[in-house]
Structure 1
């Protein structure tokens, strides 16, 4: 999907805090969209916008799909440094044409019931967004869709990105137990969120990545590809098991004591994932993963030094500017219309 994501210009407005793909190689997907608020002066205040939805889970159980959408959106927000207790939510729904069959009408009801279950446990509420019940064409139907969006303010000085930062950092898995129905323990999830919010403020947390459908192994891999930093873990169980509400954390010190906190291993400069006595090069894994959609959304090729266009340099001595007080000061008019952007950063450039 990076080939598609690279077509979005995140630099518009000059307020981006987390680029869509982080790290030296810009490969680790950001957990959420984080942008500073548009102000004429300097500000440390930004907004976090996170989403949650898994079509495979929702097709299997709309109830679980709605519940886990809220949990995933919340976890993504917390992983960026946000406060779950200050989050606000919006739900966007899209379902098949209902018709006269009772089972079809049960899909949106079950999805909303699952979302309400999670929101009530977290002490939050959601506003309704645009919904549609016309996602059918002959015998083709969209999967039951309830996408949860979570937004909260954050100080940019506590924003965390998911890629590993350096070798020698300790890796932790803050787990979230599940009940017999496959639902996260929402009390444990809320406790995890409070623990992380405090740990980030103490300054020991270097990266956080929420665990979801791909399990802890997907989180370990995606956190590694941004900077090519490897990991070493002697023993890992349930690597690919989905676990919504859990977190992968790297730290350059201790994290204190918390329920369900498990030490995994540490980061290395080997460029490999070394887990349970087996190893695989990160670059080889990325080549396999990025080839999946390369024919649909081609990746931008990196420009080598041999083909790089040389920088233009001045060969002649530059004239010193004249200090004449009679030169007029340019005036600039920047029209601002609804739907446009970049007026504030453009004004700063002219000033």
Structure 2
């Protein structure tokens, strides 16, 4: 069952019969999308079952009617059920926000319910059977039995907890709160529509989001594919990139997994490109002579720190003990939202923010833990180069793994160069929009890109 010999399903005397596997994708209207976690206390929980025929296939006519009904209803949350039935669905819906449920029904909660639904709503849903209500107590109550959400969650995650831990043991160190306020700066180069060059390296995956974010605030963003199929293609790509940097006011290094994070570390491929003489000269000309800006997010940040553009503001050979980004404490990739705090406005990229502003930002990386020795940390703090920090729910920088997802020292998420015009950060600020993170609370918009464009006005 697969496209290559090693995935054929045959092993010793075990054979998988020829199997037709079909995949289908149905795009939907984002305005009608709701997430599965319970949203409010006191709302109704309804069960909607899709009938199946003798072959266990769904009645698609009924399914279509149900879909039409749900699209016109005031639904807070919806969850599609599977082999775990209602019991599993209720648990997962409750885990998200820690909102409990009180259930009163004779329906079998543990029977598999493929293609059926659990709905949270403020009023009854046509075709639905009300089976309970949400409640503030973090429990699921079924008749006389009460189950704590915490115990249910531990039972759900414990089988693979040792293999895929959600968090590492919290660090015993503390996270300082850094505060540095600066007057906003403007470039000596004036243009209302600065040109942005966004190189797309093998493995880059955030170039489209980055270009969109810049275009929405008036910049002229160009994505340039770096071709490496042949030595000649590499040479041509190096020359083209250097030429494009010289014609642009902003260099954007987007996120992704350039060259599959090989060899033995993320960002090394991009760093190698930036160190090539032709590209390095163009980058330093942008910074030293043309008052330009550079932004590196995630994989781009990893490349900036490996070249020295942050925190030193120049491309240089790495030295033992330099600040770095290393593997997450958890030992694997993380993908989640986290809250970050503006700790300094030294960088023009942060001119539209104030120290203390909080933003909920999506993160996706395997090597995002910032580390530096105490001497370098003191220097970065003194010059206002510690740009952003991970915080807890009260806005305080923290080492707690549920808020500091990679274990960065002093909860540092982003740093800048001495001049501030080079900024590197792990959070994907570009991944935002009216239909992104609709079930995430807090401030999802971080005005980096608008500040970058205003810098040249």
- TM-score normalised according to structure 2 size: 0.41
**In structure 2, do the counterparts of structure 1 residues 228 and 319 end up closer, same or farther at CA, with 3 Å as the change threshold?**
closer
- Pair 1:212-2:76 in alignment: no
CA distance in 2, matches of 1:142, 1:296: 28
> Alignment partner for residue 29 of structure 2, among 155, 159, 167?
155
Q: CA deviation at 1:190?
A: 3.6
> Alignment partner for residue 140 of structure 2, among 273, 276, 283?
273
CA distance in 1, matches of 2:149, 2:40: 15
> Alignment partner for residue 198 of structure 2, among 334, 345, 349?
334
The answer to whether the 8 Å contact 2:48/2:129 transfers is yes
CA distance in 2, matches of 1:291, 1:145: 34
For the residue of structure 1 that corresponds to 2:105, the secondary structure is coil
CA distance in 1, matches of 2:113, 2:17: 22
* Per-residue deviation, residues 262-285 of structure 1 (Å, max 9, x unmatched): 110111011000012211000111
- Pair 1:294-2:161 in alignment: yes
The answer to whether the 8 Å contact 1:158/1:201 transfers is no
Aligned position for 1:177: 51
Q: CA deviation at 1:337?
A: 5.9
* Per-residue deviation, residues 122-142 of structure 1 (Å, max 9, x unmatched): xxxxxxxx5878311213456
The answer to whether the 8 Å contact 1:230/1:269 transfers is yes
Q: CA deviation at 1:291?
A: 1.0
- TM-score normalised according to structure 1 size: 0.53
For the residue of structure 2 that corresponds to 1:273, the secondary structure is strand
* Per-residue deviation, residues 3-52 of structure 1 (Å, max 9, x unmatched): xxxxxxxxxxxxxxxxxxxxxxxxxxxxxxxxxxxxxxxxxxxxxxxxxx
Q: CA deviation at 1:153?
A: 2.0
Q: Give the aligned length.
A: 214
* Per-residue deviation, residues 44-99 of structure 1 (Å, max 9, x unmatched): xxxxxxxxxxxxxxxxxxxxxxxxxxxxxxxxxxxxxxxxxxxxxxxxx45xxxxx
Higher relative contact order (CA 8 A, sep 6+): 1
For the residue of structure 2 that corresponds to 1:197, the secondary structure is helix
Alignment of 1:182-331 (within 5 A): 183-184=56-57, 186-187=58-59, 189-202=60-73, 204-256=74-126, 258=127, 261-301=128-168, 309-314=175-180, 318-321=182-185, 331=195
* Per-residue deviation, residues 219-265 of structure 1 (Å, max 9, x unmatched): 11111111111111123332111121211111012223x2xx31101
CA distance in 2, matches of 1:196, 1:225: 25
User: Cα RMSD over matched residues?
Assistant: 3.3
The answer to whether the 8 Å contact 1:217/1:240 transfers is yes
Q: CA deviation at 1:199?
A: 2.3
For the residue of structure 1 that corresponds to 2:25, the secondary structure is strand
CA distance in 1, matches of 2:4, 2:186: 63
CA distance in 1, matches of 2:109, 2:178: 51
CA distance in 1, matches of 2:79, 2:130: 15
Q: CA deviation at 1:287?
A: 1.1
CA distance in 2, matches of 1:152, 1:278: 40
**In structure 2, do the counterparts of structure 1 residues 274 and 141 end up closer, same or farther at CA, with 3 Å as the change threshold?**
farther
CA distance in 2, matches of 1:218, 1:228: 15
